[in-house]
Chains A and B, each alone.
Chain A
Amino acid sequence: MTQTIAVEASHVVKAFGHADTAVRALDDVSVQIRKGEFFTLLGPSGCGKTTLLRLIAGFEMPSGGTILLEGADITTLPPNKRPVNTVFQSYALFPHLTVAQNIGFGLEMLGRPKAEVQATTARMLALVKLETMASRKTSQLSGGQQQRVALARALAPSPKVLLLDEPLSALDLKLRKEMQIELKRLQTETGITFIFVTHDQEEALTMSDRIGVMSAGKLQQVGSPKEIYNNPVNRFVASFIGETNFLPASRDGDMYRLDCGIKIGAPPSKAARVTLTVRPEQVRLVADSEADALPAKITNLVYFGTDTHCHLSLPDGTEVVARLQSPATGDAGLALGQSVGVRFVPEAIQVLED
């Protein structure tokens, strides 16, 4: 099965600083990234995602553990000996070279014949739709165009893995959406394994085949966007990906008793104290007279256009947010302070053992 694994990190540790003051940027991280997939490392700043990327690129050496590229140990190889290329957050284009020379740089350093360098450069220019810019200096390009040059430059030597370090963070929202689609297209067309680092959960969900969620130097969960969103393994993942409601509860036989005293059903668990989570779009409002609905009061209504966020308070003070689709005409007939019944879509309830 080693052929289908592009990058395998096992028990990777990276500590910065000396001895007792050392900070563990990566704490025993193991992950397998499959060949040809779009893999995203997602997490807040300082979680270690960029460090892991830099270890794969070879800019840093791990304090422990090994990194394999298609089965070969590359842990101690310098960056120029690894068939892996990077798209930098700052683009880092060479200011003294033209667009075409930037794109051909990698192949030239590899000592490829001139004809091949020219042919590949032309192909890359067409791939990122910059044919007319070939002889421009990079400083004459817009941010989005520089981004494309950076991509073409990293793709030109046909790396086994392309590393992308928050490449879209400097672009405005509209351009970012365009580039997201562009990146996905490039990845499908070239079939190259992409490892993409971002702190933007929406970006991760829309582009990735699989996501690795990181926090505090540890890999929290690896899975498809759907798995991560629907079945978060812990509180961090649940709260970092999308919005969610946390309901503290105790196990009571096959059911769970919420702190407000009401019993509801959810998947089984061994722990006595748990947290139930349910996404805002899986919360339903019903009449407060309905049986086994949770009694709640509306504390706030926030209008978002396509939907309305309804903030509710349970009898014990627990906050619950419901996302309601805005009706075609008029308003939903909700008012602040109104008493309503709350129901959760049963299959949508997740149990987190704290």
Chain B
Amino acid sequence: MSPAEQDQITQSARNGWLLSAPALVLLTLAAVGPLIIVVIYSFLAPGETGNVEWKFSTDAWQGILFTRDIFDDTLAWADANLTIFWRSVKLSLLTTIFAFVVGFPTSWFIATRPPKARALWLFLITIPFWTNLLIRTFAINEIIRREGLLNTILINLHLISQPLDMIYTDTAVFIGMTYVYLPLMVLPLFASLDRFDMRLLEAAYDLYASPWQVLRKVIMPIVNPGIIAGSILVFVPSLGAYVTPRLLGGGKNMMIGNFIELQFGQGRN
């Protein structure tokens, strides 16, 4: 390679960095910076007026993980906090799995439509995004609450005699989150399936694969990047969800997001 060519490559690499500069600056200011500040603060001692004192301390972390016995000062696991943490992980995992189970057939359906119909279906999938999250969550609330739509219908059909307790349970939170984050699963899955060569299905079927084996051995490995992307896009925001658990889980079924709000906003911790 001639020096001139090498120069050209360095030049284009430099241009690439230049183009991504605005995004990098924004990320540093809005995401990485605050995160660093929070991590530093977490190792400092609390001040009198909600500020921090510049003194190293692990009290904050101890306070999250352990509770100090009021009589003999021994440390014990902070059950309440860990329960909230565990509930968050569990509900987020359930949400991710359920969003995949519902989202995969949906994406498959869209990817196998004619091109024009595909655009329409994708548009329909994104419609919920056009509505405020609070309003959508209140709508679910309206459907599943004790005197809500679903219970009224079931009672009038004489399928149940007592209204079902659906709202303010973990199930309500998980169903609500699945609904809210489903499009984030469908879109990357669709992008992967759209590029999938459907002729491979016939090839696999011809080579003695059962329909289940076609799914496991051919479709899943090839669309794997889409599955991973969709799962991350659903799992991560679920973990930090605030509105949905607050409205559908009530006060007692807190998740990490609510806990943080409680401690940070109200407890000034």
Contacts and interface: CB of A to CB of B under 8 A. Distances in A.
A302 interface: no
Given A94-B218, A96-B222, A78 B205 contact: yes
B87 to A, nearest CB: 37
A124 B204 CA distance: 18
Interface stretch (A36-44, A62-70, A83-91, A171-179): A83-91
A57 B208 CA distance: 11
Interface in B194-225: 197, 199-200, 202-210, 213, 217-218, 221-222
A18 to B, nearest CB: 18
Contacts of A110: 208
Given A90-B199, A92-B199, A105 B206 contact: no
A153 B221 CA distance: 19
A232 interface: no
A95 interface: yes
A86 B221 CA distance: 23
B205 A94 contact: no
A306 B202 CA distance: 45
Given A80-B210, A109-B213, A92 B200 contact: yes
A92 B209 contact: no
Nearest to B198: A92
B207 A109 contact: yes
A57 B202 CA distance: 10
Contacts of A78: 205
B208 A92 contact: no
A69 to B, nearest CB: 14
B213 A88 contact: no
A166 to B, nearest CB: 14
Most chain B C-beta atoms within 10 Å of own C-beta, residue among A84, A92, A106 = A92
The size bracket of the interface on B is 10 to 19
Contact of B209 (A80, A86, A96, A153): A80
B200 A94 contact: yes
Contacts of B207: 80, 85, 105-106, 109, 153-154, 157
B213 A92 contact: no
A76 to B, nearest CB: 15
A223 interface: no
Given A90-B199, A92-B202, A80 B208 contact: yes
A98 B199 CA distance: 18
A268 B27 CA distance: 91
A92 B203 contact: yes
B206 A85 contact: yes
B158 to A, nearest CB: 43
Interface string A308-332: 0000000000000000000000000
A248 interface: no
Contacts of A109: 204, 207-210, 213, 217
A88 B202 contact: yes
A303 interface: no
A86 B208 contact: no
B123 to A, nearest CB: 30
A150 to B, nearest CB: 9
Contact of B199 (A58, A88, A154): A88
A144 interface: no
A139 to B, nearest CB: 12
Contact of B197 (A84, A92, A154): A92
Nearest to B213: A109
Contact of A94 (B203, B210, B213): B203
Contacts of A143: none
A59 interface: yes
Interface in B157-214: 197, 199-200, 202-210, 213
Contact of B206 (A79, A95, A96): A79
B222 A80 contact: no
A177 to B, nearest CB: 26
Nearest to A86: B206
Contact of A157 (B208, B218, B221): B208
Contact of A79 (B199, B205, B213, B221): B205
Nearest to B214: A80
A58 B206 CA distance: 8
B216 to A, nearest CB: 11
Contact of A96 (B202, B208, B221): B221
Nearest to A82: B206
10 contacts: A59-B202, A85-B206, A88-B199, A88-B202, A90-B197, A92-B200, A94-B200, A94-B222, A105-B209, A109-B204
Given A88-B199, A109-B208, A157-B207, 10 more contacts: A58-B206, A79-B205, A79-B206, A80-B205, A94-B200, A94-B204, A109-B207, A109-B213, A110-B208, A153-B207
